[in-house]
Amino acid sequence: MAPVLLPSPSYFVSVDALALRTGMARIEEQFRDLLENGNQARGLPGGMYAAGQHLNPYSMNQRGLYGTAAALLVLGRSQPSPRRIALIEGLIRYITERPTLEPELLSGEEDLPDLRGRLTRDEQITFKTADLVYALSAAPHAAAGQGPLLQKLLATLDGARRPGGGWSCRLNPTADRDALATASVVRSLCAAGVLVDPVDRKLVEDDAADSKVSAYIRTFCVLVLAEITNGGQVAVRLWRELFETLRGELRQRTESNYEFRIGLGMQYVRVPWQLYLIAGACWCRPSSIVFGREMRAALLDCIEAVGSVEGYFYPAFGEMKSTRTYGIAMDTLWRVQDSLTKFRYVARLSVAANIATRIIYSRAASVLALAGALALIGVALAEWITGSGLPWAAIGPELAGAALLGVTGFLLRRIRR
C-alpha cells in the first residue's frame, strides 16, 4: 500500500497516536467554527449554540437535533480546553429550550405550522433521541444541565420500549420493532451506564447474525454487540464474517441511507457502515488496524479527508459535509485511539511501520541508495574492462550497453530538434 500524506510532515502506512490526534483536532476545529460563526446561530440567545445538517458555517440558517447531537459528541470526545465546557453547556441549553425557542425565532406566522410539525416529528424519531443520549453520555458531568436532560431522555426511551423488547423507529411501544433503532438505543443506554435488559441484548445479537438484515445495518449491530460484550466470541465471529463480505467495498468511500416512515412522510438516517466496521475492529480484531490493507486505507482516507479543503463526504450523496457523519468519524477515531492505548502491541506495530516507511522514503535513504548503485556500476565496469573474471564483471556489458543506448537516445533528440 502506498504511503498516505496526512496533515503532518511525515508519511504514514498505518495510524498512530499522532495521526489520530491530528484528525480529531481538525474535526473539533471545524465544529467550533460552525458553532461560533455559522449562519445557523443567527438569532440564538448569547451563550446558546446549535448545529444543523451541514458542517459548513456559511451554508444555511438551519438547526436540528442530529447536527446538535453530533457537535455535542465531538466536544465530548475532544481534549479539555478553555471554552469546551461553555460550548457544551450552550448546546444543552438549546436542546432543552428548543420547543419554545424555535417558534420565537420565526420571521413570519405562515411558517409556524410547518415548524411545529417538524418539532413534533423530531420528538418521535428514536434515532435522534438515541444520538442525544449517546452524545450526552460523552459530555463532562460538570456541564450544567447534562444530568437533568440525560435523565429526561432516558425516561423517554424507557417509555418507548416495546412490551416484548426492542424499539421501533418511532418512540411508540406499539409499533413494529426495528433492528437499527434497537441497536441505537441499546448502545446509548450502555454508554449512559444503564443496565441493558438481557432480552434487548439478545435482540441485538440476533439482528447482528440475521442474514435477512442488510449487511450495512449489521455492521452497526455487531459494533453494539461488541461494545456491550467487551468483544465477546460471538461478536468477533460475526465481525470477521462481515469484514470478509464487505472488504471489497472498503476501497471506495461509501455509506448507506436507511429510510423509515414517520406519519405520512419518509425520513432517513445515515449509516456510515465503513466507520462502524473500523470501530468494531477495535473490539474484534485490533491487529487489522495495522495489518488489514483495506482497513488501513479506509481509516487513513478518513483522517486525511477531514483535514483537507474538500472534507470527508460520500460522493453518492453530494459534496456537502454532514455533521452527523463527522460526529461518527470523531467517535471512531476516539475509539481507535483508545484501542491503541489498550492493546500496546498494536500501537508499537503501528509506530514501527511508520518509522520504517519514513526511513525508506527519506532523502538520506535515497542518497545512500543512489551512492551505492553508482558505486556498484563503477566496480562492475572496472572489473569487466580489466577482465578480472570476478562475478561483478558479468554485468559490465549490460551496463555499458544501457549507457550506450541512453547516449544514443539523447543524441537522437538533439538531432530532431
Q: Where are the domains of the chain?
A: 4-360, 363-416
Strand ranges in 62-181 using DSSP code E only, listed in sequence order: none
pLDDT above 60 (res 2): no
One-letter identity of residue 413: R
pTM of the entire predicted model: 0.85
Query: Lowest-confidence range among 132-136, 156-160, 192-196, 379-383?
Result: 379-383
Question: Which position has the grid cell 470501530?
Answer: 279
Sort residue 230 into left (φ over 0), alpha (ψ -120 to 50) or beta: left
Q: In a 3-state reduction of DSSP, which class is residue 387?
A: coil
Mean pLDDT of 33-57: 91
Mean pLDDT of 131-154: 96
Per-residue pLDDT reduced to its tens digit, 80-129? 988 999 999 999 999 999 999 998 888 777 678 888 888 888 999 999 99
Q: What is the C-alpha separation between 233 and 230, in angstroms, rounded?
A: 9
Which pLDDT score, from 0 to 100, does residue 51 have? 95
Going by their DSSP bridges, the two strands 265-271 and 256-262 should be labelled as antiparallel
Confidence of residue 181 (pLDDT cuts 50, 70, 90): very high
Confidence of residue 10 (pLDDT cuts 50, 70, 90): low
Confidence of residue 1 (pLDDT cuts 50, 70, 90): very low
Bridge partner list, 261: 266
Contact assessment for residue 40 and residue 307, using Cβ atoms and an 8 Å cutoff: no
Which pLDDT score, from 0 to 100, does residue 105 have? 86
Q: What is the C-alpha separation between 12 and 6, in angstroms, rounded?
A: 7
CA distances from 329 to 9, 65, 124, 281, 416 (A): 23, 17, 26, 14, 57
Q: Is 123 exposed, middle or buried (0-12, 13-18, 19+ CB in 10 A)?
A: middle
More confident site: 19 or 4: 19
Which pLDDT score, from 0 to 100, does residue 139 have? 95
CA distances from 114 to 11, 42, 53, 68, 102 (A): 51, 20, 18, 20, 12
Please compute, for residue 408, the number of CA atoms within 13 A of its CA located in the half-sphere on the CB side: 6
278: Cβ contacts below 8 Å, ≥ 6 apart: 289, 295, 298, 299, 302, 332, 336
Name the most confidently modeled range: 41-45, 182-186, 365-369: 182-186
* Average pLDDT of the chain to the nearest whole number: 89
pLDDT above 70 (res 238): yes
Task: Say which CATH topology domain 4-360 has.
Answer: Glycosyltransferase (1.50.10)
Name the most confidently modeled range: 1-5, 311-315, 405-409: 311-315
